[in-house]
Amino acid sequence: MDARRHDYEAMSDRIWGMPEIAYGEFRSVAEHTAMLAREGFRIRENVAGIPTAVVGEAGEGGPVIAILGEYDALPGLSQVAGIAEPQEVEAGGHGHGCGHNMLGSAALLAATAVKNYLAEKGIAGRVRYYGCPAEEGGAAKAFMVREGEFDDVDIAISWHPASINRVDDANSLANTRIDFSFRGRAAHAAAAPHLGRSALDAVELMNVGVNYMREHMPSDARIHYAILDAGGIAPNVVQGTAKVRYAIRARDLPGMRALVERVKKVAQGAALMTETQMSLQVVSAVSNLLGNTPLEQAMQMQFEALGPPPFDASDRAYASQIQGTLSAEDIASAFARAGVTPRKDLPLCDFVVPYGTKGVAMLGSTDVGDVSWAVPTVQARVATHAIGTPLHTWQATAQGKSGQAKKGLVTAAKVMAATAVEAIEAPDLIARAKADHKARTEAVPYESPLPADVKPPIKPAPAVAAE
Ligand SMILES: [Zn+2]
């Protein structure tokens, strides 16, 4: 893997330089497809009907090991690499603020290593690289699971760029995004206000109602909203239409479904109060992550054997500069999340958190959740950023091509590949992983959180390939 690392670091850098957001990752997926072809994988494009999803498979017979990659960027996080102050590459442009340029490149490097290992040793087994688009709010993996893309997979392995090295503790929330649209009646706001019925009023009353509901929901549930359409910019026109997008998160799918029904009632109440019509559209939905003890323990052993990424003095110098732009709370919370004692003057993580360490729960959401309900799944979090760097910030984008990013990428690839090889070679690991998965899903079997009529919001490929 060390012999091939430069090709994958270069691919990560190229993808960093072409930030594409949810379902628009045409150039990024082309990079991954070209690398799969070069490495000799059997390629399937347009996976689950999504033009920016790709799967590459290698090997024959035996178990099927899925290695999950991502390559989508975030809107509004354009940032020059390698500096420690905010400066956009392109005003208002996209940026790799979650490190998915590294995520996909490391996953593909791991898959390639496993492929070559199986071929050299003549071992039966298949490794499959899943190029998954639209992790950021697009739930592509949930659609891929719903379309049966993981039906014959034995286990799935992934990772995420982070600032602390550890095996992921599978702590994430189920999440759904729903657009609530209100239709009223436009009117002159001064001359004929009595004839108008304001859709914007309905949105505001819905938000007030949900804000009152917060006191009476489970403490780890989360609700956020953004007004997508305020009905226009003229205050002297009663707003005839308005739209608000809600993100509703809860500990698990039954909890999320219950909360969604309550939010719907608030929306109906707002429509009733304002004499407007309400309609709703689910945009995306993902499940909470499910852990898997045998796979987590196996990955932990490999991670400890390989050790943390071998950062050098120049990596630490840049990371220190980045830490200078972070608050003390940012840095303290990174340690708290991992459950380890804070250390001063430690710009980059030089340890692997022991297995089972309990930290403060990180209550985000990811579409890896749905894969984890379909098949036993394990993820590493590998240090690629200065300790305390919050993801989805300019500081995260700035470090995406740094020395720490590249060393973290290669370490992540080695941890994933070693875990995959152990799963293929250790006779009972996959069986134990499956038994653990069965025990966790027996009481509440998986049911896709995506309504049957909801399709991924795919975009047409650009007519002319952008240069
Ligand atoms: Zn991410």
pLDDT, one tens digit per residue, over 110-152 is 999 999 999 999 999 999 999 999 998 789 999 999 999 999 9
pLDDT at 466 over 60: no
Question: Terminal CA-to-CA distance of the chain, rounded, Å?
Answer: 30
Residue 467: pLDDT band by 50, 70, 90 thresholds? very low
- Using the predicted structure, report yes or no on whether residue 364 has a pLDDT greater than 90: no
**Of the ranges 298-312, 326-340, 396-410, which one carries the lowest mean pLDDT score?**
326-340
Tokens 């799944």 sit at which residue?
Answer: 377
Mean pLDDT of the chain: 95
pLDDT higher than 50, residue 439: yes
Ligand 1 center–CA 297 separation, angstroms: 23
Instruction: Please give the distance, rounded to the nearest whole angstrom, from the Cα atom of residue 281 to the centre of ligand 1.
Output: 25
pLDDT digits (tens, 9 = 90+) for 26-81: 999 999 999 999 999 999 999 999 999 999 999 999 999 999 999 999 999 999 99
CA of 44 to the centre of ligand 1 (A): 24
Cα of 98 vs centre of ligand 1, distance in Å, is 5
Interatomic CA distance for residues 429 and 155, integer angstroms: 10
CB atoms within 10 A of CB 125: 23
Convert the chain into a string of H (helix), E (strand) and C (coil).
CCCCHHHHHHHHHHHHCCCCCCCCCHHHHHHHHHHHHHHCCEEEECHHHCCCCEEEEEEECCCEEEEEEECCCECCCCCCCCCCCCCCCCCCCCECCCCHHHHHHHHHHHHHHHHHHHHHHCCCEEEEEEEECCCCCCCHHHHHHHCCCCCCCCEEEEEEEECCEEECCCCCCEEEEEEEEEECECCECCCCHHHCECHHHHHHHHHHHHHHHHHHCCCCCEEEEEEEECCCCCCCECCCEEEEEEEEEECCHHHHHHHHHHHHHHHHHHHHHHCCEEEEEEEEEECCCCCCHHHHHHHHHHHHHHCCCCCCHHHHHHHHHHHCCCCHHHHHHHHHHHCCCCCCCCCCCCCECCCCCCCCCCCCCCCHHHHHHHCCEEEEEEECCCCCCCCCCHHHHHCCCCHHHHHHHHHHHHHHHHHHHHHHHCCCHHHHHHHHHHHHHCCCCCCCCCCCCCCCCCCCCCCCCCC
The dihedrals phi and psi of 279, each to the nearest 5 degrees, come to: -135, 155
Q: Separation of 135 CA from ligand 1 center, angstroms? A: 7
How far away, in angstroms, is 35 Cα from ligand 1 center?
22
- Give the mean pLDDT of 10-34: 97
Residue with tokens 């995506």: 450
Confidence (pTM): 0.93
Mean pLDDT of the 166-179 span: 93
Span from the CA of 200 to the centroid of ligand 1 (angstroms)? 33
Based on C-alpha coordinates, what's the Rg of the chain?
23
Segment 70-116, tens digit of pLDDT: 999 999 999 999 999 999 999 999 999 999 999 999 999 999 999 99
How many A from CA of 389 to the centre of ligand 1? 13
CA–centroid distance, residue 52 to ligand 1 (Å): 17
Cα(159) to centroid of ligand 1, in Å? Answer: 10
Q: Contact at 8 Å (CB) between 141 and 103?
A: no
Cα(257) to centroid(ligand 1), Å: 24
Q: Pseudo-torsion of CA 137, 139, 141, 144, nearest 10°?
A: -150
Residue 24: count of CB within 10 angstroms of its CB: 22
Q: What whole-number percentage of the chain has pLDDT above 90?
A: 93
| Burial class (CB within 10 angstroms; exposed 0-12, middle 13-18, buried 19+) of 328 | exposed
C-alpha 99 – ligand 1 centre gap (Å)? 6
Å from CA of 73 to ligand 1 middle: 9
Rounded to an integer, the average pLDDT of 438-459 is 92
Distance 160 CA to ligand 1 centre (A): 7
pLDDT at 309 over 50: yes
